[in-house]
Amino acid sequence: MARNHEVTERHDLLNADGTLAEPGWSKSLIQTYNREAIAAPKLKIKEWDYYLILADKHAVAFTLSDDGYIGMQSASLLVFDEKNPWEQTSSILNFFPMGKMKLPRTSDEGDVRYHDKKLDLDFIKTGNTRHIFGEYRQFKDGKSLKVDITLTQPPMDTMVIATPWKEDKKAFYYNQKINCMRASGYAEFDGVRYEFNPETDFGTLDWGRGVWTYDNTWYWGSGNTVVNGKPFGFNIGYGFGDTSAASENILFYDGKAHKLDDVTFNLPENGSYTDPWTFTSSDGRFEMDFVPVIDRAAKISLKVIETDQHQVFGRMSGKAILDDGTVLEIKDVMCFAEKVRMKY
């Protein structure tokens, strides 16, 4: 199978024995995910929807997840103040959800809802829009975070990856990244309303389903902007599973996907996540400098569950080259890049 094998025919994601039918990448969810076809125990099944809505001066992110023996429902607010950037992430842990969240089998339809005494959060899909709304009570210092945001998703390519693990044939990672969704609406906290303008601001969906091995480290980066009057986005990453069939590195421009080969995250040698990074590519089509603004760092240690996460938001500048050789220059685009180690 060739490197960066593109899946082009519709079929079930999993074989009868629970292994991946066709590892590779595609522009949409043409392989059909079915939770009931998974051969691994229910405790190991991981399903999540993660939205990031990013403006130049602020961002919000929301996760609703059902990860077998634990679920994590979270909200983040980030403010990129030049003198005093800050962020707050608040989370709710649910033990042994094991499918009770009933996350949809596809990102194309179905709603995700979560309601308890602390959090009301809804992800509603209607036609070509995604509506994110709710309230996180006592989000920070006893004050609530409220949100009402609409993302518009016109017909366009996305990044879908179906990745196995060499060490466990029943493990797989089926993931879709939807970039360049124009964002409108607001988040409100402590009397301040953080607005999102569809002319300049975008949302990204990280839709994931699968069964992982216990200990993984991955790198992921994503961003969206407008270049020459047209939406531009990128998704880069590696380290997760056996990516010999395909990488998840890709550019989006005016609704079309432009596949990249390998991209390397060059982190500061001194171990400081807030010093400048660079990104280099094996095909020379993604060469970037990255100046961090804030490190959204988080550590969790709950016996069998350990995470060490650095999601770094900052400004990226450099060049990206489309399939036809067109060179796009970007400068000071607010985006993020992360390194995460997770045991769970």
Confidence at 1, pLDDT banded by 50, 70, 90: very low
| Sequence-separated contacts (24+) of 93-98 with Cβ below 8 Å | 94/70, 95/69, 95/70, 95/71, 96/43, 96/68, 96/69, 96/70, 97/66, 97/67, 97/68, 97/70, 97/71, 98/42, 98/43, 98/45, 98/66, 98/68, 98/69
DSSP label of 33: P
Encoded amino acid at 178, one letter: I
Of the candidate ranges 109-118, 144-153, 272-281, 298-307, the one whose mean pLDDT is the lowest: 298-307
Token readout for 128 is: 């070509």
In tens, the pLDDT along 16-56 reads 999 999 999 999 999 999 999 999 999 999 999 999 999 99
Strands 119-126 and 129-140: antiparallel
Domain boundaries, the chain: 11-343
Cα–Cα distance measured from residue 231 to residue 328, given in angstroms and rounded to the nearest whole number:
12
**From CA 123, how far away is CA 217, in angstroms rounded?**
28
pTM of the model as a whole: 0.97
Per cent of the chain over pLDDT 70 is 99
Task: Report the pLDDT value the prediction gives residue 120, as an integer from 0 to 100.
Answer: 98
How many CB atoms sit inside 10 A of residue 210's CB? Answer: 25
Mean pLDDT of the chain: 96
Query: How far is residue 307's CA from residue 79's CA, in Å, rounded to a whole number?
Result: 24
Q: What is the pLDDT of residue 285?
A: 98
d(CA 66, CA 12): 22
Q: pLDDT tens digits, residue range 49-102?
A: 999 999 999 999 999 999 999 999 999 999 999 899 999 999 999 999 999 999
**What is the rounded CA–CA span in Å between residue 4 and residue 139?**
42
pLDDT at 2 over 60: no
**Amino acid 304: pLDDT:** 76
pLDDT in tens, 193-235: 999 999 999 999 999 999 999 999 999 999 999 999 999 999 9
pLDDT tens for residues 145-202? 999 999 999 999 999 999 999 999 999 999 999 999 999 999 999 999 999 999 999 9
